[in-house]
Every structure is written in structure tokens, then in C-alpha cells.
Amino acid sequence: MADRTTRSTPPPPQWAELPTDCLVHVFRRLDLDELASAAPLGCRGWRRAAADPSLWRALDLRRDHLARFMPWGALAGALSRLHGVHRFTLAGFLRLCVARAAGTVADLALPPLLSSSELDHVAAECPALRRLALPALPPADDARLPSLLPRWRRLTHLELDSKPSSFPAVAAALALHCPDLAVLRVTSGSVKPEDAAAMAAASPLRGRLRSLCLDRCYLPRQELLAILAGCGGAAPLREFTARFCVGFDDKDEEVLARGAAIERFDIGGSRLLDEPDGDATNGDDYCDTSYVDVNCYSLNTFDFLFLLYI
């Protein structure tokens, strides 16, 4: 029998030997917590890949925003050990994520109880934002929001957990400095006549918007009709939602007629008076049923413990 020449099969490449772009592709499947605390522990190649700015362009920091950074939290502990600090806070995590993105953050959702310094940091270090979700801001930051918007000239999508008391100035700043804005979401607060005017056809902002969401707001019927009256024209809204609002009836015939021309028009669950029926709200969804702007901070158990701790 003739001798057979055996060919040895080379061993598969080790993880550490994978090209950086391959590791970056794999790391895209990790969430921010794993990317920040676990991926850098593998080797120098892993640390290099985990620091790639493309992995940090979309940052959603709203999930368990305080629970993860309690002193006993697993993530806080892992980051403290990794970076050699006594305590790693949510503010530190925000700064770490923004620094890793190196000015390329395009999609950012910020948590409640954000400090003024962190808001300023985001304004300075995230000029490429296209989507931004802001929590309810304290009065001082609410008032200066219009002065921060010029930093984010590429915005196409803005989500506000609470309508700013300075909304007309916010609308004017958006119209002047954010020419690509197409989506505006305001998910609580009282819509006043001046706010409705800022969303209507006479406002430069209205000509830009394609989607407007006012879910769970206090929205009187006359303000809603004023907004809908401006939804036509050369650049009509394609989507308008005002679900579970207080101030008008979702079966109002005039309101339905005004909204019939909008491609997606949804006002389901809205009613004239705030009378929770158990299906839509639990009584905590509205700041107020008057024209008084109230900053509503719903503190859960973790928020309360955090405030006690600091």
C-alpha cells in the first residue's frame, strides 16, 4: 500500500487573532453594558475593537438608569474595577459612552434626573445628533433648552418627555437651526394657545414636520383644531397622534373631519375630562388639567434610594 501524505489541518483562528473589523461586527450584538464592562477584558485586540466609535453612535441610557449604578450594582462594580475608581456613576457612564463615540453620536436617549453639567457636556460633545430623546428637565434647564438646540443642527427626530414651558422659543430655535427636523414627539404637558400657534401653519416649524405626536398631553379642543387647521398646505403632516389626551373627545366629528386628510391620524383614548377608566391611565399620566406647567418627576423606588444615597 502506498504511503499517503497526510495534510495537517490548521487550527481555527483564535478570537484574539480576528481582524479588528470582524470583532467590531461581532461586538455590535452586545448591549452598552457588556460593551463597556466585559468586551475590554479579553485582550488588547478586544479593547481596541470595543473602543471603535461606530459601536457607540446609538446610546439609549434610559434602561434601569439608576438601579445599575447603585454602589451594589453589578455594572457599577465592574466598571469601578475596570477603571480603578471607587465609584462609577451614571454621569461617568454617560461621559464614557460619549468619549468612545468621538463626536459621532447620532442617536441619544437620556435618562431622568440629568444634571445641567451633563446636558452641557452632551451639547458640546455630540454635534452629529440626528435623534434625541430628552427627559423632563428642571426649570432652569427647561428655560435654556432653546439656547442648546443650535448645537444640534442635524436633528431629524426630537422626543420630549414633557412639553417645555419655553416651547414657543424651542419651536423657533428648531425652525431656525434644525432644517431637517421631521419628527417631533411631546408625550406629556399642557398645550397652550401659544404652543398650538407654534405648531400651526403660520409657524416655520410646521413646514418641516412630517410627524407630530402629542400623546398623553392636556390638549384642549380649540388648540387641537388650531393645530389641525395648519396640517395642510404644500408640506402636510403625514402622521399625527394625540392618544390618551385630556381636553377633547376622540369621537368629536369636527376633529375627525379635520384629521381625515392625514395619512395616519390616531386620537384613540382621548376624552374631554380626566376621568381614568382603568384602560388608558392609572391617574399619573398627566401633569395637570389646567394651563399650569408642572414638572412631573415620577420617582420610583430606585430614584428615591439614589436621592437618599447622594
d(CA 168, CA 13): 59
Residue with cell 483562528: 13
Residue pair 180/174 in contact by the 8 Å Cβ criterion: no
d(CA 36, CA 51): 9
Write out pLDDT tens, residues 14-25: 666 678 888 888
In 3D space, the residue among 170, 168, 212, 176 whose CA is nearest the CA of residue 192 turns out to be 168
Q: Which three cell numbers stand for residue 92?
A: 461617568
d(CA 176, CA 168): 12
List of long-range contacts for 222-225, beta carbons under 8 Å, 24+ apart: 222/193, 223/191, 223/192, 223/193, 223/195, 223/196, 223/247, 224/191, 224/196, 224/248, 224/255, 225/254, 225/255, 225/258
Residue with cell 434647564: 141
Q: What is the pLDDT along the chain (310 residues), one digit of tens a residue?
A: 445 555 666 666 566 667 888 888 888 888 888 887 777 777 788 888 888 999 999 999 887 566 666 766 677 777 777 666 667 777 888 888 899 999 999 999 998 888 899 999 999 999 999 999 999 999 999 999 999 999 999 999 999 999 999 999 999 999 899 999 999 999 999 999 999 998 876 466 666 789 999 999 999 999 999 999 876 555 678 999 999 999 999 999 999 999 998 999 999 999 998 765 554 444 344 333 334 333 343 444 444 344 434 4
Instruction: Please give the pLDDT value at position 40.
Output: 75
Q: Which three cell numbers stand for residue 175?
A: 425652525
Residue pair 239/263 in contact by the 8 Å Cβ criterion: yes
Cα 249 to Cα 24, 255, 272, 300: the distances in Å are 51, 9, 5, 31
Q: pTM of the predicted model, to two decimals?
A: 0.79
